[in-house]
Amino acid sequence: MNVTIFGTGNMGSAIARVITAGGNTVQSINSGDDTAVTGDIVVLAVPFGALDQIVATRADELAGKTVVDISNPLDFETFDSLVVPPDSSAAAQLAEKLPASSVLKAFNTTFAATLTSGKVGDNPTTVLIAGDDADAKEQLAQVVTAGGLKAIDAGSLRRARELEAFGFLQLTLASAEKISWTGGFAVIP
Amino acid sequence: MNVTIFGTGNMGSAIARVITAGGNTVQSINSGDDTAVTGDIVVLAVPFGALDQIVATRADELAGKTVVDISNPLDFETFDSLVVPPDSSAAAQLAEKLPASSVLKAFNTTFAATLTSGKVGDNPTTVLIAGDDADAKEQLAQVVTAGGLKAIDAGSLRRARELEAFGFLQLTLASAEKISWTGGFAVIP
Among the partner-chain residues A158, A168, A188, the one whose CB lies closest to the CB of B120 is A188
Q: DSSP state, A164?
A: H
The pLDDT value given to residue A31: 80
From A124's Cα to the closest Cα of chain B, the distance in A is 12
The pLDDT value given to residue B184: 98
Provide the residue type at A104 as one letter.
Answer: L
Task: Assess whether pLDDT exceeds 90 at residue B32.
Answer: no
Q: Could you read off the pLDDT tens digit of each residue along chain A, which spans 189 residues?
A: 999 999 999 999 999 999 999 999 999 999 889 999 999 999 999 999 999 999 999 999 999 999 999 999 999 999 999 999 999 999 999 999 999 999 999 999 999 999 999 999 999 999 999 999 999 999 999 999 999 999 999 999 999 999 999 999 999 999 999 999 999 999 999
Torsion angle in degrees (nearest 10) through CA of B155, B46, B30, B11: -80
The pLDDT value given to residue A32: 83
The pLDDT value given to residue B62: 98
Of B73, B4, B68, nearest to B33 (Cα)? B4
Residues of A whose CB is below 8 A from B187: 173, 179, 183-185
Rounded CA separation A32/A43 (Å): 16
Residue B174 touches chain A, beta carbons under 8 Å:
no
Which residues contact residue B41 at a Cβ distance below 8 angstroms, ignoring those fewer than 6 apart? B1, B2, B3, B4, B65, B66, B68, B136, B139, B140, B143
Enumerate helices (H) and strands (E) in chain A, giving the number of each.
6, 10
Mean pLDDT of all residues in B144-148: 98
Residues of A whose CB is below 8 A from B128: 169
Check B188 against A120: CB less than 8 A apart.
yes
Task: Assess whether pLDDT exceeds 90 at residue B140.
Answer: yes
Residues of B whose CB is below 8 A from A85: 86
The pLDDT value given to residue B31: 81
Task: Assess whether pLDDT exceeds 90 at residue B146.
Answer: yes
The pLDDT value given to residue A168: 98
Rounded CA separation A91/B32 (Å): 45
Asked if this assembly's ipTM is beyond 0.85, the reply is yes
Q: Is B42 helix (H, G, I), strand (E, B) or coil?
A: strand
Fold of A2-175: Rossmann fold (3.40.50)
From B130's Cα to the closest Cα of chain A, the distance in A is 11
Of B187, B160, B161, B182, nearest to B68 (Cα)? B160
Q: Are strands A123-124 and A119-120 parallel, antiparallel or unpaired?
A: antiparallel
Of B114, B116, B111, B129, nearest to B174 (Cα)? B111
Mean pLDDT of all residues in B33-50: 97
Rounded CA separation A19/A16 (Å): 5
pLDDT band at B133 (very low <50, low <70, confident <90, very high): very high
The pLDDT value given to residue B102: 98
How does pLDDT run across A16-59, given as a tens digit for each residue?
999 999 999 999 999 889 999 999 999 999 999 999 999 999 99
Candidates A111, A132, A178: best to mutate against B (most CBs of B within 10 A) is A178
Q: Which residue of A has its CA nearest to B183?
A: A188
